[in-house]
Amino acid sequence: MKEQFKAFRFLVSALAISAALSLVCFAQQTSGNQGNRVQAPKEISADKVAALVAEWTRAKDYTREYLDAMPEDGIGFKPSADIRSFGNQMVHLAGGFYFMTKPIFGIDAPYDPRKMEEMPELKKDKAALTKTVMDSYDLVIAQIKKLDAAKLDESITLFGIKMPRHIAIAKAFEHQTHHRGQTTIYLRLKGVKPPPEKLF
Amino acid sequence: MKQRLLALRYLVSTLAVSMAFGLVCFAQQTSGQTSGGSKPAATAQAPAAEWPSDPVGMLVAEWTRAKNWTKEYLDKMPEDGLTLKATPDVRTFAEQMLHLASANYFYAQAGTGQKSPHARDAFAADKFKTKADLSKMVLESYDFMISGIKSLDAAKLGEKIQGRGGMLARQVVIRNGFEHQTHHRGQTTIYLRMKGVTPPPEPFQ
């Protein structure tokens, strides 16, 4: 009798879980239909890899908004003579990822980050610039997706310092935030209102 | 007999815990002496050759680095640069820094559960006429975050709280705060350049 009761309880909970899962699946499909932009989730995933993918996707979308907001003739713009142009800030941001792909993900970067800022097509062509920058985010996101929680905690060496892989990824994230942040002022100086902050 | 054994075990573990706390406290005091707030940035702690492995230690290390980096920005801006703004419709340098400070308090309050000692109007730019006053407010906002993080443990970091974007783990709120200060410090890089100052190098270590 007791055994039967246990089996029944197991069945009921399995049913509840599968109902919940299909509801989530349905909700995701529905929200996916509401336009191209993915809605911010009401809850950040507890799964570490999924949470990182969500953060990097948000960062990519945010940078895309900056690129979209800058007029074509603003790609070569710089607020003072001794700093990077808008386009070069963006290329440097992408190059920052490529500096870290070897130590963090163990793969060769598709470009030499030191030479990227000199690539002529990235100095004035907004479409080419946008593609290069978006591709660099896609590469990072694809590499993160290949990791698991144990790989995230694994110790690697970056800048001569031993650190968990997820800390190194956080530094790559910080680097792009730092440079995208700088370009806010470039937009303002071109009379463009910067995209609102996308922290979630 | 069994009860006595239990009591003994309890005593031993209490002793071990209190010794551990004592050690941590000593270590903090020692590190505090080498990276005192009012000293020039040159005496800031050298990066460790190995990253702390516990989640609280990692966050403290990152926020301490962020604080030192922001301090270098403040140190480098000349006194008359506080009111500089790149265009009429953006924040001045001081307003950027105060926005960053007030947000640090906001995220620390939400993420670590401390009560901020400041009301919103405490961050009004007209209250900060000197770089010393501004720097104090900004650097204290980092201290508030760092001491708040130190009061947490790994389990608390994962605890879900009601945040701006829904239910968020404390560590996610703290990380969003980190991104926010990076974003605004980054903006002020251009203000330094416009004043002819070479910005501090990026200390990602």
Q: How far apart are CA A30 and CA A13, in angstroms?
A: 26
Q: Measured between beta carbons, which residues in chain A are less than 8 angstroms from residue B92? A: none
Is A182–B186 a contact, with Cβ atoms under 8 angstroms apart?
Answer: yes
Percent of chain B past pLDDT 70, that is, above it, reads 75
Chain B nearest-CA distance from A190, in A, is 10
Amino acid letter, B45: Q
**Residue A30 CB neighbours (<10 A):** 10
Query: What does the pLDDT read at residue B205?
Result: 59
- Largest pairwise CA distance in chain A: 84
E strand or H helix at A23, and its extent?
A: helix A2-32
Query: What does the pLDDT read at residue A196?
Result: 85
Mean pLDDT of all residues in chain B? Answer: 81
Instruction: Report the pLDDT averaged over residues A3-19.
Output: 45
Nearest CA in chain B to A191: B87
Give the mutation candidate from A56, A89, A100, A199 for the B interface (greatest B CB count, under 10 A).
Answer: A199
Torsion, CA A165, CA A167, CA A168, CA A174, rounded to 10: 150
pLDDT tens column, A31-64: 333 334 445 555 667 688 999 999 999 999 999 9
| C-alpha separations of B36 from A84, B59, B139, B185, B200 in Å | 34, 19, 12, 22, 19
Give the mutation candidate from B183, B184, B192, B202 for the A interface (greatest A CB count, under 10 A).
Answer: B183
Is B168–A171 a contact, with Cβ atoms under 8 angstroms apart?
Answer: no
Nearest CA in chain A to B180: A199
Q: How far apart are CA A20 and CA B60, in angstroms?
A: 38
Amino acid letter, B167: M
Instruction: Report the pLDDT averaged over residues A95-118.
Output: 93
Q: Is B56 exposed, middle or buried (0-12, 13-18, 19+ CB in 10 A)?
A: middle
Instruction: Report the pLDDT averaged over residues A154-167.
Output: 92
Is the pLDDT at B171 greater than 90? The verdict is yes
Find the DSSP H helices in chain B.
2-34, 55-76, 93-112, 131-150, 154-158, 170-194
Whether the Cβ atoms of residue A86 and residue A70 lie closer than 8 Å to each other: yes
Is the pLDDT at A172 greater than 60? The verdict is yes
Nearest CA in chain A to B177: A199
Percent of chain A past pLDDT 70, that is, above it, reads 76
Degrees (nearest 5) of the Cα angle A151, A155, A159?
125
Is A178–B185 a contact, with Cβ atoms under 8 angstroms apart?
Answer: yes
Phi and psi torsions of A11, nearest 5°: -60, -45
Query: What does the pLDDT read at residue B17?
Result: 37
Is the pLDDT at B7 greater than 50? The verdict is no
Is B49–A42 a contact, with Cβ atoms under 8 angstroms apart?
Answer: no
Which residue carries 């251009």 as its tokens? B190
Q: Measured between beta carbons, which residues in chain B are less than 8 angstroms from residue A162? A: 49-51
Whether the Cβ atoms of residue A179 and residue B186 lie closer than 8 Å to each other: yes
Is the pLDDT at A188 greater than 50? The verdict is yes
Instruction: Report the pLDDT averaged over residues A11-24.
Output: 39
| C-alpha separations of A39 from A27, A44, A105, A126, A200 in Å | 11, 12, 29, 27, 10
pLDDT tens column, B27-84: 333 333 333 333 333 445 555 677 888 899 999 999 999 999 999 999 999 999 999 9
Phi and psi torsions of A43, nearest 5°: -145, 130
- When pLDDT is cut at 50, 70 and 90, the band that residue B202 belongs to is confident
Q: Is B162 helix (H, G, I), strand (E, B) or coil?
A: strand
Pick from A44, A79, A181: which is nearest to B86 by CB?
A79
User: If you ran DSSP here, which 8-state letter would residue B147 be given?
Assistant: H
Weakest mean pLDDT among A88-97, A151-160, B4-13, B65-74: B4-13
Q: How far apart are CA B128 and CA B121, in angstroms?
A: 12
Chain A nearest-CA distance from B178, in A, is 9
Weakest mean pLDDT among A138-142, B11-15, B149-153, B166-170: B11-15
pLDDT tens column, A114-153: 899 888 889 889 999 999 999 999 999 999 999 999 999 9
Chain A nearest-CA distance from B22, in A, is 26
Nearest CA in chain A to B91: A185
Is A181–B182 a contact, with Cβ atoms under 8 angstroms apart?
Answer: yes
Number of A/B CB contacts below 8 angstroms equals 111
Contacts of B161 (CB under 8 A, 6+ apart): B110, B111, B167, B168, B169, B170, B173
Which residue carries 């370009």 as its tokens? A183
- When pLDDT is cut at 50, 70 and 90, the band that residue B187 belongs to is very high
**Residue B45 CB neighbours (<10 A):** 12
List, in order of start, the domains of chain B with CATH numbers: 55-194 (1.20.120.450)
Regarding predicted confidence, which is higher, B173 or A20?
Answer: B173
Regarding predicted confidence, which is higher, A4 or B143?
Answer: B143
Q: How far apart are CA A155 and CA A152, in angstroms?
A: 8
Both structure tokens of B107 = 């995220």
Weakest mean pLDDT among A31-40, A85-94, A153-162, B185-194: A31-40
DSSP-assigned beta bridge partners for residue A163:
A156
Is A181–B169 a contact, with Cβ atoms under 8 angstroms apart?
Answer: no
**Residue B65 CB neighbours (<10 A):** 18
Q: How far apart are CA B202 and CA B55, in angstroms?
A: 23
Q: How far apart are CA A63 and CA B21, in angstroms?
A: 44
Instruction: Report the pLDDT averaged over residues B83-107.
Output: 96
Q: Is B145 helix (H, G, I), strand (E, B) or coil?
A: helix
Q: How far apart are CA A80 and CA B187, in angstroms?
A: 14
Give the mutation candidate from A39, A42, A43 for the B interface (greatest B CB count, under 10 A).
Answer: A43
End-to-end CA distance of chain A: give it in Å, rounded.
51
